[in-house]
Structure 1
Amino acid sequence: MFIETETTPNPASLKFLPGQQVMAQGTREFADPEAAEASPLAQAIFDTGEVVNVFFGSDFISVTAAPGVDWTALKPQVLSILLDHFVAEAPLFAPGTAAGIAVPPEGGELLVEENAEDADIVAQINELLDTRVRPAVAGDGGDIQYRGFKDGVVFLTMQGACSGCPSSSATLKHGIEGLLKHYVPEVVEVRAA
């Protein structure tokens, strides 16, 4: 088995591509070792002691190193863990735990109470996120989660390699905000949630 790696716009994150499906649907982010207890794979990666985030995408795993950690030493450790996991065909999640699939908008908790009359606008926003934004963000080792729409403001959460990326603010404000404003005139701003 061969696992490819790709750099991401976030210098602290690497994207690992095992050449097979990771998540059947949705995504899953582990922002700390306690959250990783639901997944033996994520827990093993956190057990290196040098990781602050693990993210499962459809066909990739993004790993974010702790500040000051050198990928030269960490990368072989993560590759070894991933190889062991996929060669053994081990389950991604521990028995009896919920996979916690986050498929926006159903899986994400809304931060704002939305108005029923905004349902068409919200549907347009989610359609654009699904077709235009999510594939591009996945290419960078992350995902984006819809968190609400109120008074012209769209609330989004960056995940995976994108959550701590220095350019995530620019991606939200200049990329995603511009796209949404162009196609959905009711959108006046995009904010990180």
Structure 2
Amino acid sequence: MFIETETTPNPATLKFLPGQEVMASGTRDFASPEDAEISPLASALFDTGEVTGVFFGRDFISVTAAPGVEWSTLKPQVVSILLDHFVSQAPLFTGGSAAGISVPAEEDEDIVDDPGNEDVIVQIKELLETRVRPAVAGDGGDIRYRGFRDGVVYLTMQGACSGCPSSTATLKHGIEGLLKHYVPEVVEVRAA
């Protein structure tokens, strides 16, 4: 087995491609060792003591190094952990933890959508799914719709895109421009 790596726009994050499916559907973002307790793979990556974030996509894993950690020393450890996991065909998640789709933490409540904007919200979500998510996944991350209220679309960047120096530009210039072009009701995009 060979695991490819790709850089991401976030210099602290590398994208690892095992050449096989990682998640059948959805994504999963782990921001702490406690979040990772449901996944032996994510836990093993955090156990290096040099990882601050792990993200599972459809066919990739993004790993974020702690401040001051050099990828030249961390990358071989990560590749070794990934190889052990995929070669042994270990489960991605423990027992009854249904794994998949990205679930917000309790403190990350979604914004309540404006009532009567169902058609607008469907358009926004379709654009995010077909135009934005594939591009963001290419950079080792994901985007999650949080709500639409008073013309403002609330989104959360995940994986390599969370904390990326260019994430604000991506939201404000890329995604906001796209949504405003196709959905006139959108006046702004904000990180949530």
TM bucket (normalised to shorter chain) is over 0.9
In structure 2, C-alpha distance between the alignment counterparts of 1:50 and 1:98, rounded to whole Å: 27
TM-score, normalised with respect to structure 1: 0.95
Percent sequence identity is: 78
Question: Which residue does the alignment assign to 2:34?
Answer: 34
In structure 2, C-alpha distance between the alignment counterparts of 1:50 and 1:103, rounded to whole Å: 25
Question: Which residue does the alignment assign to 1:180?
Answer: 179
Q: Which runs of 4+ in 1 moved over 2 A?
A: none
TM-score, normalised with respect to structure 2: 0.96
Question: 1:91 is matched by which residue type in structure 2?
Answer: P
Is the Cα contact below 8 Å between 1:22 and 1:60 reproduced in 2?
yes
| Secondary structure at the counterpart of residue 85 of structure 2 | helix
Question: 2:120 is matched by which residue type in structure 1?
Answer: I
Is the Cα contact below 8 Å between 2:27 and 2:102 reproduced in 1?
yes
Is the Cα contact below 8 Å between 1:110 and 1:148 reproduced in 2?
no
In structure 2, C-alpha distance between the alignment counterparts of 1:103 and 1:127, rounded to whole Å: 19
How many residues align? The count is: 189
In structure 2, C-alpha distance between the alignment counterparts of 1:67 and 1:118, rounded to whole Å: 42
Is the Cα contact below 8 Å between 1:148 and 1:155 reproduced in 2?
yes
Shift of 1:27: 0.2
In structure 2, C-alpha distance between the alignment counterparts of 1:113 and 1:58, rounded to whole Å: 28
Shift of 1:100: 4.8
**What does residue range 22-171 of structure 1 map to in structure 2 within 5 Å?**
22-102=22-102, 111-171=110-170
Shift of 1:116: 2.9
Question: 2:37 is matched by which residue type in structure 1?
Answer: E
Is the Cα contact below 8 Å between 2:25 and 2:100 reproduced in 1?
no
In structure 1, C-alpha distance between the alignment counterparts of 2:182 and 2:103, rounded to whole Å: 22
Question: 1:64 is matched by which residue type in structure 2?
Answer: T
Question: 1:159 is matched by which residue type in structure 2?
Answer: Q
Question: 1:187 is matched by which residue type in structure 2?
Answer: V
Is the Cα contact below 8 Å between 1:26 and 1:57 reproduced in 2?
yes
Gaps of 5+ in 1: none
Question: 1:150 is matched by which residue type in structure 2?
Answer: R
Question: 1:183 is matched by which residue type in structure 2?
Answer: Y
1:80-132, Cα deviation, whole Å (9 max, x unpaired): 0000000000000011223151289xxxx753221331110000000000000
